[in-house]
Amino acid sequence: MSGVAVLSVSDLRVSIRGVPILRGVGFELEAGRTLGVVGESGCGKSLTGLALMGMLPPGARVEGGTVTLDGRDVTHLSERDWQKVRGQEVSMVMQDPFTSLNPMMRVGAQIAEVFRLHHGTGAAEAARRAVGELERVGVPSPAEAARKYPHQMSGGQRQRVVIAMAFASRPKVLIADEPTTALDVTLQAQILRLLQDLQRREGTAVLLVSHDIGVIGSVADDVAVFYAGRIVEAGRAERVLRTPEHPYTQGLLASLPRAGQDRLDSIPGQPPRFGSLPEGCAFGPRCANRFDRCDAEPGLLPTPDGHRAACWLVLGAPTPTRERPGPEGE
């Protein structure tokens, strides 16, 4: 990256009930760019998004590191201060729009509340602007839609409402946590296009969280691959996805369906539990290329293709010393 980062995360460490989950996460995100965060369920990618919103779950706490938003350290803001930042400078679109919306409020009133709370807009003007936001995100008959309750709308329309709320204050950063997972393939493409269109108009920095590396590859400028609470590969998306260096990234790409393929490839074994991570490289028990040096966990190392990977193979490793793990990682 060559521009000024609107979001900078350095050595972020988060624990839940004393168990380390995020283990030194760091990245930068520029205005107008999309960083795709990808990895298996439970790897820490969604927790990263919650930490950046000041919305950690009960029992979770930041143990170290810094989060800087537009030059301001927001790592340890009070909840009162977060309420001034959240929804205005940084917003979030979550996976299930039905749980993100208040079922007892009309959707127009929920969007209007953003203008009233963050901008002090009067009720009538806020209601008018809410209709405008619904029109902007492509909800049909926006004035009529504003009077509906969430259960009266389709899943795709509800997600558009959530996106309208997220963009209403023109935030500097948008965190989209699996925004298309609950939708069918056609609606997924529509929602991703909508996010890209709004991003281009506003110059918003987008952090897109997904377990689907195909989705990440279709929209992200940069990518960060998570495994066991760490970033194991990062860089420009086209470079990482064209020439992955970390065996885990290679496994994710190999698991994508291809024409004429009878059976999908899979990564052997299971992700480790955070309370009992293996010594050294956390991916080691599942890796066919493990050798003695993997007993020490590497940091992100520069690759020949210009990105970074947390794998000793980047430096040139000896021939693998053991066979590929079996189906159960044995």
pLDDT digits (tens, 9 = 90+) for 84-107: 999 899 999 988 887 889 999 999
C-alpha separations of 154 from 32, 40, 86, 157 in Å: 29, 28, 27, 5
Bridge partner list, 204: none
What mean pLDDT do residues 305-323 have?
Answer: 78
What mean pLDDT do residues 30-58 have?
Answer: 95
What pLDDT score does 322 carry?
Answer: 46
List strands edge to edge, sheet with 72-73: 19-30, 5-16, 60-69, 72-73
pLDDT exceeds 60 at position 74: yes
Per CATH, the number for 1-89+171-265 is 3.40.50.300
What pLDDT score does 328 carry?
Answer: 44
What pLDDT score does 317 carry?
Answer: 56
Phi, psi of 21 (to 5 degrees): -115, -60
pTM reported for the whole predicted model: 0.91
pLDDT exceeds 60 at position 4: yes
Distance CA 14, CA 91 (A): 20
Going by C-alpha positions, the residue among 156, 298, 244, 262 that lies closest to residue 253 is 244
In the chain, where are the structural domains located?
1-89+171-265, 99-169
* Residue 47, phi-psi category: left (phi > 0), alpha (psi -120 to 50), beta (remainder): alpha
Distance CA 263, CA 286 (A): 20
What pLDDT score does 324 carry?
Answer: 44
pLDDT digits (tens, 9 = 90+) for 235-284: 999 999 999 999 999 999 988 877 777 777 889 999 999 999 999 999 99
